[in-house]
Structure 1
Amino acid sequence: MRKAILNTAAVLTLTTGLGLSPSSSALIEYSKAQQETATELVEQLEQRHYAKLKYNDELSSAHLDNYLDNLDGSKMFFTAADIASFERFRTQMDDELSNGRLDAGFTIFNRFHDHLSTRLEALVETLPQMIDAMDFTIDERYQLDIDTLAWAQDQAELDERWRLQIKNQVLNLRLADKPQEEIAKTLVKRYTNQLSRVNQYNSQDAFQIYANALTELYDPHTNYFSPRRSENFNINMRLSLEGIGAVLSPEDEYTRVARIVPAGPADKQGELKPSDRIVAVGQDEDGPFEDVIGWRLDEVVELIRGPKGSTVRLQVLPAKGGTDAERKTIKIVRNKVKLEEQSAQKRILELPKGNGETIRVGVIDIPTFYIDFEAMRRGDENYKSTTRDVKKLIAELEEENVEGMIVDLRRNGGGSLQEANDLTGLFIEYGPTVQIRHSSRRVWRDGKRLRSTYYDGPLVVLINRLSASASEIFAGAIQDYDRGLIVGDRSYGKGTVQTMVPLTEGQLKITESKFYRISGDSTQHRGVVPDISFPSLYDPEEIGESALDNALDWDQINPVRHRRYSNVDSLVPQLTEIFETRSSSNPEFLYLQDQLAVAEENRAITSVSLNETVRREERKQREERALTIENRRRAARGEEPLASLDELDESDDEAADDAVADADVDADTEAENTNGSSAVASSDDSADEETPEAEDSTPEKVIVSAEEIASEDVLLSEAGNILVDALVLQERAYALTAAKQDN
């Protein structure tokens, strides 16, 4: 009974602080320039956006709901009474905003700002007492699935939600072995920092949130950028983390990894993954960690970037660990990304054909669709581009007698549309590659206009959920021309083009066009569906266009008459059957499927226990299951089992150290993207001097056996095996046809 009373006392303390000590923050007011900007914003959206939506009463209602969700999506500040008081704005916001009035948006924002300041002030004052009163032996649960939460009926219900949230944060720190005496200090500092940032909110912050609550209803890639955000274009618009090569986005209180820049330091180090959440940042090898939960995105970026060669340490909640993930520390050496490092690379796989024979298969890995526009414009005959590099690699692989090729586009987030078109031209004789429809509904086509030589051998294109934009144009064209097999995971599904529009104050990034395949299908939302599907390494509910609210729909336009180069699609049923039979006994593939099953189970968790014994037992069970999965793979490979996961972690640490050492090279990069969404990862604006050794060195020929590639990358291995299967089936078909003709 005493323990329950202590918890109740903590709630009463917090409630008293909130009820009797409201914040006295000054009202934030909008400016004349923002009134003019609001009018321009509505005009541009209605006139130029591809969706052709009118800002009417219906959209005004959706605007109100989205604005409230953007401000308080976790339902931790507004009560049901607050929401009821805002109902008067539901069908007025369209009339107000179109006429340059921002009363509704700023009234709501000021209410939120007052609640937020009051709450944080109370937390900073009462946290030590709250934590001292917490009992981690009783059975309480913390709700993770906020989508099912209703608005709190009163302040007491909000206080209870906050008590459970703070208790979960404390328990997470206890599970991370944070000393008890440091926990209160950590959380007080976290909320003190948040309060300091909240007190700095101004009219630009309010207007940007209000404006984006509207632009996001048109589509997720249409955004308003305040003057401050426009000035910091590389960080905030491109969301580029200078120094480590990661593209970030805000998600609730967390900084989330949207994707990893190919060939960047984080990519080379290998541990940071898409959808991981960064919770703390430490400088150098042993600097203290700075808690960044609740920080603004640009502030987190500023903390992470730094001079080339220096070290940054990130504490992350891994995406694969689900909502109750354990913290992981990742050490990355900051660097710049060199154009050459993002260049297409080749290697050769030697794969079994049967009867003791092997087949040599060429692999061309394309991290991004790049082109050195500056060198091209100044007339440099040796300017670098994806197509020019791949053309050389194809010639080299043919000289090395490969019998087929794999184009690996996994994690390729796009780049130059011109390069996607030109690259397709290396694999077809001539013809269109993509159709682009403007908001005016005018359609134009782009592609290879002149007949010329091309690689006509067997081809497989490997894609995954992170293959986007230009990657989807290339893969879609190869599929439509029946030029090769597409294998892997369904691609990202970004089939839109954005344009920057200057406004009186700030800028508007607006979706004006959509990409369509020559089949007439859009790449939007659905992406490119592989001929043969592999298990997805990424949760489609977290990553991809379909995971974004208000994404434009998939649709079709008229197809373009085009040649079909082969009947490779007729082999898909047989190839799928062979693939499924082979993968069912492949230990690497089974290991991958086991990991995906665990990740799926973790994602399904909607609440967690606040009983420390229960949570520790759940962690123990997860570790035991992970060990069982690892030892099952090791047994299938004829390796000794591990006694604990610590043995595996030691080998991973050694590999990570090697990767960090490899990343410490001089590098520079420049990338251009036709839709303005490219990311440049660098630590400063100066170009590095290249050593003569770096200029003159050439990569050694890389030939990898089936056993080596299977252990390194089971999906690439399977892509190679599918290409070999296709060759064998075609040879049998040719032999059967020849036999019939002889008879």
Structure 2
Amino acid sequence: MSQLVALWRRAALLVVLLLVSATALARIEPDETHLQVAGEVAESLRYGHYANVEFDDEWSQTAYARYLDILDGQRAFLLESDVADFEHLANRFDDMLLDGDLDGAYDLYQRYHDRARARYEWLLERIDEGMSLTFDSDDRLETDRSDAEWSSSEAELDELWRKRLKNAALTLDISGQSRDDIEANLRQRYEGQLTRLKQTNGEDVFGLFMAAVTGSIDPHTEYLSPHQGESFDIQMRLSLEGIGAMLQSDGEYVKVTSLVPGGPADRAGVLEPTDRIVGVGQEDGEMINVVGMRLDEVVDLIRGPKGSVVRLDVVPGEAVDMTRSHEVEITRDTVDLEEQAAKGEIIEVERDDGVRRIGVITIPTFYVDFDAWQAGEEDYRSTTRDVAREIERLQDEGIDGLMLDLRNNGGGALQEANSLLGLFIDRGPTVQVRDAQGRINLYGDTDSGALYDGPLVVLVNRLSASASEILAGAVQDYGRGLVLGNATFGKGTVQTLSDLSHGQIKLTRAKFYRISGESTQHRGVEPDILFPNLIDPERIGESSLDNALEWDTVREVQYRTYGEPWEYLETLRDRHSRRADTHPNFVYLEQRAELADEMREERTSVSLDREQRQREVEEQEAAQLALENQRREALGLEPLEEWADARDDDASDQSDDQEDEPVDRAQVLEAAEILADYAELSQRRLAGNP
């Protein structure tokens, strides 16, 4: 790039920065509104939160550390000397909050703001001077610096950012972009980040401070600004027109944590939990790089009117390198309630003495038409009513056992978990709810009789949360059936939303406990028989969240048991292991989970040498492809040429070939085998032949 063009661009950038506003360089100050709200939040936390919140030096140190993580979690902007200058705040966060004296928090933000502004300008100067696009050094870039020491000098940070800039360019180079496109793409990225930084106002900084305050107590308590509160209300009404995905910040990236059942992304089949979104584009518009962008800004880009198309640049969660992104399209829409409805089917399991017919009911969420229910309508829609109809239909067709598939079910209406359990027991408690004062309320089924009293299993995974965990835990505690799959999410807390003079606060007010007295919080529900886990529990689940409330117990309640399925576990586990050790799909699941663990341990840095980077990526993808083709060969399927084709094949294959659905279907089919074994062993005991 010529010096003339570089000078022109630098001058143009200067004009843009001046136009962002002359006040952009002025100090960002809190206003009286923020001082008042800080006191209101403090009172809410002290007297309304479930935990015994004490604003002391220990809490202050936690909140201060979290504030630093929010500002500069990757240790990429602030220097060791900067942090030392504000070390006195570590024991003052309680005083700042209680007294409404926010100057220290705003001063620290201002230091970060100045450092970040200077760094983005430094990056743009490097690009304008002409980047070196030779990728043949022995350099490596650490991919996660959240636990790194603060840099001691500007030169040390310059070296870090030299590597980060080189890595960003290498990522685009490997994806096939030209030199001009790479420079234009990176310039757009850093100019966008600089512009957004310049637009930061006092409300934004107050939100960051509040995030540190509330997030130091538990991950579900949060302050919502008026704008955030409006978005939250829209989500709670399920009228959000977008893609139906729950997103979370993950360092510089935005990560998919779950998909709304029946939502556009779920129906399209192009996103999965742990996928990272690195770009967002509208229809045929330009793809905007969102690396380093705030979560709420990314959500605003993705949200849009029903019927419009959003394009996402996505890096699969299991990808070994950020260069392995691909573009997907999703048509924005509202949630399809029919897709959320419970649905049943029958799976036939071959045995030497005949066929066992296993009923399977998939329950994506716990729903109820509250308006129709409150209006007294007799035919209102609910999970329990839909499941009851499916059970009656399956029983009419003749089944030997029933499976409830709660995988990916993030919860919903608590009353539905209670009434649904009532289909399988003759009245009794379902869950205990303990409030901040230690008072315990008991919820359960009050209707006598059970609709189904045969062999029962519940299939869960890491994304089964809240009401799903309550139902699974109750089935396990009552001895009513077996729980199969993976340890659940561990969301065992209850939140309420309260108005403040400015904004709202979402506050953790209570905690769920099983009838056995064990909390579902943090640990979730442990299955009786474990399946291979493809979702990393360190990245998804309550235990992966900072400052999650701990697991504990209360006194168990009185309840009767309906059986002793644990007596069959040794035999059931042995039979399961023999099948899983030889079935191509389960062998694949086990080996893929092991490989994913190995790759997560190895993925701590990336090479900045193009050939070495390619070799590392190709070696890891070759291992993934070999596993996939080993499975396909065992099933008599055509091998794939590239590992990336495996995911596309899973998303596009809507045929009746159930053998070609390794994750979802293999688990359902094996759960049906276990249920058939369980039914057989139960019948033997009833017949007096254990």
Q: For residues 579-612 of structure 1, what are the alpha-carbon distances to aligned partners after superposition, in whole Å with 9 as ceiling and x for unaligned?
A: 0111000101111223222322221111111000
Matches within 5 A, 1:76-475: 76-129=76-129, 131=131, 133-234=132-233, 242-284=241-283, 286-322=284-320, 324=322, 326-355=324-353, 357-475=354-472
* Contact kept in structure 2, 1:350 and 1:706, CA below 8 Å: no
Given the superposition, is the C-alpha separation of residues 148 and 89 from structure 1 closer, same or farther in structure 2, using an over 3 Å criterion?
Answer: closer
Q: Distance in 2 between matches of 1:228 and 1:288?
A: 26
Q: Secondary structure, in 3 states, of the residue corresponding to 1:138? A: coil
CA RMSD of aligned residues (A): 2.4
Is 1:487 the counterpart of 2:484? The answer is yes
Deviation (angstroms), 1:450: 3.4
Q: For residues 161-217 of structure 1, what are the alpha-carbon distances to aligned partners after superposition, in whole Å with 9 as ceiling and x for unaligned?
A: 111111111111111112222001001001111111111111111111112211111
Map of 1:714 onto structure 2: 666
Q: Secondary structure, in 3 states, of the residue corresponding to 1:528? A: coil
Task: Please identify, of 588-597 and 511-520, the stretch whose mean Cα deviation from structure 2 is larger.
Answer: 588-597
Q: Distance in 2 between matches of 1:106 and 1:709?
A: 52
Deviation (angstroms), 1:382: 1.4
The AA in structure 2 aligned to 1:49 is H
Q: Distance in 1 between matches of 2:650 and 2:445?
A: 46
The AA in structure 2 aligned to 1:209 is L
The AA in structure 1 aligned to 2:123 is L
Map of 1:32 onto structure 2: 32
* Unmatched runs of 5 consecutive residues or more in structure 2: 1-9
Q: Distance in 1 between matches of 2:650 and 2:464?
A: 27
Given the superposition, is the C-alpha separation of residues 714 and 73 from structure 1 closer, same or farther in structure 2, using an over 3 Å criterion?
Answer: same
The AA in structure 1 aligned to 2:618 is K
Deviation (angstroms), 1:545: 0.4
Q: Distance in 1 between matches of 2:81 and 2:660?
A: 63
Is 1:621 the counterpart of 2:610? The answer is no
Q: For residues 25-64 of structure 1, what are the alpha-carbon distances to aligned partners after superposition, in whole Å with 9 as ceiling and x for unaligned?
A: 1101111111111111111111111111210111112221
The AA in structure 1 aligned to 2:26 is A
Task: Please identify, of 216-225 and 465-474, the stretch whose mean Cα deviation from structure 2 is larger.
Answer: 216-225
* Contact kept in structure 2, 1:319 and 1:325, CA below 8 Å: no
Q: For residues 111-138 of structure 1, what are the alpha-carbon distances to aligned partners after superposition, in whole Å with 9 as ceiling and x for unaligned?
A: 111111121122223324352x243111
Task: Please identify, of 38-47 and 617-626, the stretch whose mean Cα deviation from structure 2 is larger.
Answer: 617-626
Q: Secondary structure, in 3 states, of the residue corresponding to 1:244? A: coil
* Unmatched runs of 5 consecutive residues or more in structure 1: 1-12, 660-703, 739-743
Q: For residues 509-548 of structure 1, what are the alpha-carbon distances to aligned partners after superposition, in whole Å with 9 as ceiling and x for unaligned?
A: 1111000000000000000000001111210000000001
Given the superposition, is the C-alpha separation of residues 706 and 168 from structure 1 closer, same or farther in structure 2, using an over 3 Å criterion?
Answer: closer
Task: Please identify, of 203-212 and 635-644, the stretch whose mean Cα deviation from structure 2 is larger.
Answer: 635-644
Map of 1:560 onto structure 2: 557
Q: For residues 125-161 of structure 1, what are the alpha-carbon distances to aligned partners after superposition, in whole Å with 9 as ceiling and x for unaligned?
A: 3324352x24311110000131341000011111111
* Contact kept in structure 2, 1:429 and 1:454, CA below 8 Å: no
- Give the % identical residues: 45
Given the superposition, is the C-alpha separation of residues 709 and 72 from structure 1 closer, same or farther in structure 2, using an over 3 Å criterion?
Answer: closer
Deviation (angstroms), 1:354: 2.3
Map of 2:501 onto structure 1: 504
Deviation (angstroms), 1:616: 1.3
The AA in structure 1 aligned to 2:67 is Y
* Contact kept in structure 1, 2:589 and 2:662, CA below 8 Å: no
* Contact kept in structure 2, 1:61 and 1:91, CA below 8 Å: yes
Q: Secondary structure, in 3 states, of the residue corresponding to 1:186? A: helix
The AA in structure 2 aligned to 1:390 is V
The AA in structure 2 aligned to 1:327 is S
Matches within 5 A, 1:693-732: 713-732=665-684
Deviation (angstroms), 1:323: 5.4
Deviation (angstroms), 1:573: 1.3
Map of 2:6 onto structure 1: none
The AA in structure 1 aligned to 2:177 is K
Task: Please identify, of 91-100 and 425-434, the stretch whose mean Cα deviation from structure 2 is larger.
Answer: 91-100
Q: Distance in 2 between matches of 1:265 and 1:90?
A: 45
Q: For residues 307-363 of structure 1, what are the alpha-carbon distances to aligned partners after superposition, in whole Å with 9 as ceiling and x for unaligned?
A: 4333322111111114546102222222222322211011110111224x1111111
Q: For residues 527-576 of structure 1, what are the alpha-carbon distances to aligned partners after superposition, in whole Å with 9 as ceiling and x for unaligned?
A: 00000011112100000000011111100000011111012111111101
The AA in structure 2 aligned to 1:450 is D
Q: Secondary structure, in 3 states, of the residue corresponding to 1:194? A: helix
Map of 1:611 onto structure 2: 609
Q: Distance in 2 between matches of 1:188 and 1:432?
A: 60
* Contact kept in structure 1, 2:429 and 2:445, CA below 8 Å: yes
Q: Distance in 1 between matches of 2:123 and 2:234?
A: 31
Map of 1:634 onto structure 2: 632
Given the superposition, is the C-alpha separation of residues 347 and 185 from structure 1 closer, same or farther in structure 2, using an over 3 Å criterion?
Answer: same
The AA in structure 2 aligned to 1:117 is R
Q: Distance in 1 between matches of 2:645 and 2:247?
A: 32
Deviation (angstroms), 1:718: 0.8
Is 1:733 the counterpart of 2:685? The answer is yes
Q: Distance in 1 between matches of 2:208 and 2:620?
A: 40
* Contact kept in structure 2, 1:235 and 1:301, CA below 8 Å: no
Q: Distance in 2 between matches of 1:493 and 1:463?
A: 12
Q: Distance in 1 between matches of 2:644 and 2:368?
A: 44
What is the total number of aligned residue pairs between the two structures? Answer: 670
- Using the size of structure 2 for normalisation, the TM-score is 0.93
Given the superposition, is the C-alpha separation of residues 336 and 241 from structure 1 closer, same or farther in structure 2, using an over 3 Å criterion?
Answer: closer
Q: Secondary structure, in 3 states, of the residue corresponding to 1:313? A: strand
Q: Distance in 1 between matches of 2:300 and 2:666?
A: 37
Deviation (angstroms), 1:383: 1.0
Q: Distance in 2 between matches of 1:75 and 1:622?
A: 29
Q: For residues 408-432 of structure 1, what are the alpha-carbon distances to aligned partners after superposition, in whole Å with 9 as ceiling and x for unaligned?
A: 0000000001111111111110100
Given the superposition, is the C-alpha separation of residues 711 and 69 from structure 1 closer, same or farther in structure 2, using an over 3 Å criterion?
Answer: closer
Q: Distance in 2 between matches of 1:172 and 1:325?
A: 5
Q: Distance in 2 between matches of 1:258 and 1:90?
A: 32
Q: Secondary structure, in 3 states, of the residue corresponding to 1:232? A: helix
Q: Secondary structure, in 3 states, of the residue corresponding to 1:218? A: coil
* Contact kept in structure 2, 1:492 and 1:527, CA below 8 Å: yes
* Contact kept in structure 1, 2:241 and 2:305, CA below 8 Å: no
The AA in structure 2 aligned to 1:194 is Q
Q: Secondary structure, in 3 states, of the residue corresponding to 2:91? A: coil
Q: Secondary structure, in 3 states, of the residue corresponding to 2:329? A: strand
The AA in structure 1 aligned to 2:241 is E
Give the alignment partner of residue 536 of structure 2, picking from 536, 539, 545: 539
Q: Distance in 2 between matches of 1:84 and 1:381?
A: 66
* Contact kept in structure 2, 1:142 and 1:164, CA below 8 Å: yes
Q: Secondary structure, in 3 states, of the residue corresponding to 1:257? A: strand
Q: Secondary structure, in 3 states, of the residue corresponding to 1:118? A: helix
Deviation (angstroms), 1:395: 0.7
Given the superposition, is the C-alpha separation of residues 549 and 489 from structure 1 closer, same or farther in structure 2, using an over 3 Å criterion?
Answer: same
Matches within 5 A, 1:644-683: 644-645=642-643, 651=649, 654-655=652-653
Q: Distance in 2 between matches of 1:89 and 1:557?
A: 38
Map of 1:597 onto structure 2: 594
